Amino acid sequence: MTPYIMYLIIGVLLIIAEIVYFRIALHYGIVDKPNLRSSHKKVTILGGGVIFPIAMGLWILFVGVRDPWFLLGLALASLISFIDDIWGVPNKIRLVVQFLAILLIIRDFGLLSIDSWWLVLIIWIVSVGVINAYNFMDGINGMTGGYSLAVILPLIVMYSIVGQNLSMLIVMAISLLVFCFFNFRTKARCFAGDVGAVSMAFLMIFCTGWLMLKTGDVSYIVFLAVYGVDTVMTIIHRIMLHENIGEAHRKHMYQIMANELQIPHVVVSAIYMAVQLLISAGLIWLPVNHYVYAIVVLLVLGVIYIVFMKKYYHLHEEYLASVAEMQKD
């Protein structure tokens, strides 16, 4: 079987799997109901991102088991997240499973045998943080799917440059295209849910981590720069406001763009996607020092965030005041 036929079959099976899941989700009430902190206004199917781990299952069927510890970690992270979407899981249990799943990636990379235990500990903690940051950045139509494609495409380019097999990344891209067909639209048929965001983040960590190990170049972290800066700056902002950073909110830059500025969801998602693609393309093809480039990119994104918030955050404060008034009444 040629790779093209394999990818075609996987694509068709994923479309079928997504449609079947919609029926199951509607039957059992696996939906996201809007609330005051939501960026959507109608009940929407939750957990459409379940096709991401399903895609990896299909990939295994066609190419065989590779990196078994990583695949076990993906299965654990996806399962606990799907259960969380349906019934809810205590934060402590979810974090324990995520730490275990990341430990399996570290095991697969062979890092457990190195002497620098402190470095492994940092990688372990930061990776779990990335998973949760990726999960928090979901919430508007097209964001998770579109942004993930903007990360996958540069990874495909780099994997081809270093001579790594592309089949897993291509299957990931196919699953994202299928998901985007149902999500990257004005009226989304489904949301990724925790299962989609967490499993995709886990896949990103593995693929980006492998690239860093292969090239010895940590600057490829800028493939996640837009999400990273928005998340870190929002956390810092919320700490300054003395808020509980674990509670749901609408303070991300993209949320203010979509909610307070009334920019269509798909436009906001397309902006994040385009900016990330431009940044990644610069890292790959511009004749500059990668680390200098990464530092400049992170600083520029940080300044953009600060300027944006200084100009528009008052709109969110006005929204919060109106909500408080409604609750009084």
Q: Is the dihedral of CA 255, 261, 264, 266 positive or negative?
A: negative
Query: How far is it, in rounded angstroms, from Cα 100 to Cα 243?
Result: 29
Percentage of residues in the chain having pLDDT higher than 90:
80
Mean pLDDT for 163-182 is: 96
Question: For the residues 9-18, what does the mean pLDDT come to?
Answer: 98
| Cα gap 108→61, rounded to integer Å | 20
pLDDT band at 325 (very low <50, low <70, confident <90, very high): confident
pLDDT of residue 32: 84
- Whether the CA torsion 152, 190, 271, 135 is positive or negative: it is negative
Lowest mean pLDDT among 10-14, 94-98, 241-245: 241-245
Mean pLDDT of 41-67: 92
Res 328 pLDDT > 90? no
Per-residue pLDDT, 135: 86
Model pLDDT, residue 247: 79
* Least confident window among 28-37, 154-163, 249-258, 281-290: 28-37
Identify the weakest region by mean pLDDT among 42-56, 170-184, 235-249.
235-249
- The whole-angstrom separation of Cα 43 and Cα 102 is 33
Residue 309 has pLDDT above 90, yes or no: yes
* Side chain identity at residue 11, one-letter code: G
* Residue 178 pLDDT > 60: yes
| Digit-coded pLDDT (tens) for 31-44 | 987 755 555 567 88
* CA 18 distance to own-chain centroid: 19
Q: What is the share, in percent, of the chain residues with pLDDT greater than 70?
A: 97
Q: pLDDT: is 118 or 226 the higher one? A: 226
Looking at every residue in the chain, the average pLDDT score rounds to: 92
Burial class (CB in 10 A: 0-12, 13-18, 19+), 200: buried
Q: What is the pLDDT of residue 245?
A: 81
SS (H, E, C) the chain: CCHHHHHHHHHHHHHHHHHHHHHHHHHHCCEECCCCCCCCCCCEECCHHHHHHHHHHHHHHHHCCCCHHHHHHHHHHHHHHHHHHHCCCCHHHHHHHHHHHHHHHHHHCCHHHCCCHHHHHHHHHHHHHHHHHHHHCCCCCCHHHHHHHHHHHHHHHHHHHHCCCCHHHHHHHHHHHHHHHHHCCCCCCECCHHHHHHHHHHHHHHHHHHHHHHHCCHHHHHHHHHHHHHHHHHHHHHHHCCCCCCCCCCCCHHHHHHCCCCCCHHHHHHHHHHHHHHHHHHHHHCCCCHHHHHHHHHHHHHHHHHHHHHHHHHHHHHHHHHHHHHHHC
Dihedral over alpha carbons 113, 114, 115, 116 (to 10 degrees):
-130
What mean pLDDT is predicted for residues 152-178? 97
Q: Quote the pLDDT of residue 36.
A: 53
Distance CA 283, CA 62 (A): 33
Determine phi and psi for 152, rounding to 5 degrees: -65, -40
Q: What is the pTM of this model?
A: 0.93
List the chain domain ranges.
12-328
- Shortest CA distance to 73 belongs to which of 31, 36, 116, 103? 103
Is the alpha carbon torsion for 296, 309, 231, 82 positive or negative? negative
